[in-house]
């Protein structure tokens, strides 16, 4: 079972933050490779493990850097708004220890946030999250 454990300076204040890399899906990478086209480089960013988020959200500008085209449309509700129309994209998220998850993510601005991604329950439903507050660590296993 692939997993990683990460320590945060102040887990209570900062939450379960982790450095990740974002990339295009494997199918698209194979198509580009067969065409002899350049495959976009992975983009580094910070993700917050968010048990309150139903779906995983990635900052729209990250997805644009990867030159991804939408695969769908959805409407999301946030703490400050309801029914916001957003595009969905097939993307890869690479966690520490090279734990790779390929899934459909929602592209959104995440304005005013020091993060590039909210890892939602769509990914967490495939994992075990252990949050150890008194040691400022968390483990995510798949």
Provide the CATH number for the domain formed by 18-125 in this structure.
Answer: 2.40.70.10
Q: Which residue ranges of the chain lie beneath pLDDT 70?
A: 79-81
The β-bridge partners of 90 are 104
Q: Rounded to two decimals, what is the model's pTM? A: 0.91
**Contact yes or no for 9/138 (Cβ under 8 A):** no
Residue 111: per-residue pLDDT: 80
Residue 36: per-residue pLDDT: 95
Residue 80: per-residue pLDDT: 66
Burial of 23-57, coded b for 16+ CB within 10 Å and e otherwise, reads bbbeebeeeeeeeeeeebebbebebbbbeebebbb
């Amino acid at each position: 079972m692939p997993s990683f454990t990460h320590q945060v300076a102040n887990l209570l204040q900062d939450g379960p933050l982790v450095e990740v890399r974002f990339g295009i899906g494997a199918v698209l990478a194979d198509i580009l490779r067969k065409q002899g086209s350049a495959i976009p480089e992975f983009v580094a960013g910070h993700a917050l493990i968010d048990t309150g988020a139903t779906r995983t959200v990635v900052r729209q500008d990250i997805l644009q850097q990867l030159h991804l085209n939408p695969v769908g449309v959805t409407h999301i509700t946030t703490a400050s708004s309801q029914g916001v129309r957003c595009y969905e994209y097939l993307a890869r998220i690479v966690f520490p220890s090279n734990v790779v998850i390929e899934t459909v993510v929602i592209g959104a601005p995440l304005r005013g946030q020091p993060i590039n991604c909210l890892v939602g329950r769509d990914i967490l439903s495939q994992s075990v999250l252990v949050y150890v507050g008194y040691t400022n660590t968390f483990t995510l296993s798949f």
